[in-house]
Amino acid sequence: MQAYFDQLDRVRYEGPQSTNPLAFRHYNPDELVLGKRMEDHLRFAACYWHTFCWNGADMFGVGAFNRPWQQPGEALELAKRKADVAFEFFHKLNVPFYCFHDVDVSPEGASLKEYKNNFAQMVDVLAAKQEQSGVKLLWGTANCFTNPRYGAGAATNPDPDVFSWAATQVVTAMNATHKLGGENYVLWGGREGYETLLNTDLRQEREQIGRFMQMVVEHKHKIGFQGTLLIEPKPQEPTKHQYDYDVATVYGFLKQFGLEKEIKVNIEANHATLAGHSFHHEIATAIALGIFWLR
């Protein structure tokens, strides 16, 4: 296996006096805080998407990052190479967890059959990597927002074929998360919202995504997944308005569809500020409403 970070030592705790830029000065994984290891309080995870998939492009230019694993080649072999890179990086960074979208770790392919076959092969690769490294999966999710088919939504899309495609992705990604021992499964509706009310049936779209989430819960119990289902609130971007706007909005949605005992929230700090709240406001709200995930 080719090494990509062989010139770097593993990041370790060296204490507050350390001048090493690649060392922890305050984070000591084994230090006890209120009777609990610091690593168990702060469950850091490296994400697959921006770290290994983004090429540094923006709307004004091409990719600016040097990503040797993104060279032209056969898609599945490149995905396996990316897994080599990722787990070497996880080891060097000394993180106990990672997380992914389905198409971060596996080629989407030209059909659902290709998608599922590719993903099944990559799940076996990731399982072997986890076994070798001791790194665990914090959460998996399905990318139901990048492909142009999701331009008008995934679970809220008026086209039944698109709804079915999204459901297939979520089922497949949850099965993979279950097989890999993932501790959570995340749902983020990047396209579940609207650009304008002029062509939006709010009641119809809300009922569609409500039924979709009910089916997600049903599938969780069907396969015996013991992890937690999490919705990640975000008020906008890429849509003008997203239906999982903030913690309070998500709670109202969960109550409407009888899901408040089944699904909790995955709070992202910048999503909180985008909604006009502080990060701690969102956490406090989730705790007060009983949908804050506690390990």
Catalytic residues: 101, 104
Tokens 């849509």 belong to 239
- Please give the structure tokens belonging to residue 3: 């090494």
Q: Pairing state of beta strands 193-194 and 241-242?
A: antiparallel
CB-based contacts of 123, cutoff 8 Å, min separation 6: 176, 179, 180
CB-based contacts of 162, cutoff 8 Å, min separation 6: 149, 150, 152, 153, 154
> Using CA atoms, how far apart are residues 258 and 281, in angstroms rounded to an integer?
24
- Please give the structure tokens belonging to residue 196: 């304008």
- Please give the structure tokens belonging to residue 56: 């540094």
- Please give the structure tokens belonging to residue 273: 């500020």
**Which of 121, 125, 142, 141 shows the shortest CA–CA distance to 133?**
125
- Please give the structure tokens belonging to residue 152: 């008008």
Contact indicator for 194, 206 with CB cutoff of 8 Å: no
Contact indicator for 274, 232 with CB cutoff of 8 Å: no
> Using CA atoms, how far apart are residues 287 and 285, in angstroms rounded to an integer?
5
Tell me the residue type at 274. L
Evaluate the omega torsion of the peptide bond into residue 238 and state whether it is cis, within 30 degrees of 0: yes
**Which of 262, 252, 183, 253 shows the shortest CA–CA distance to 219?**
262
- Please give the structure tokens belonging to residue 27: 């984070």
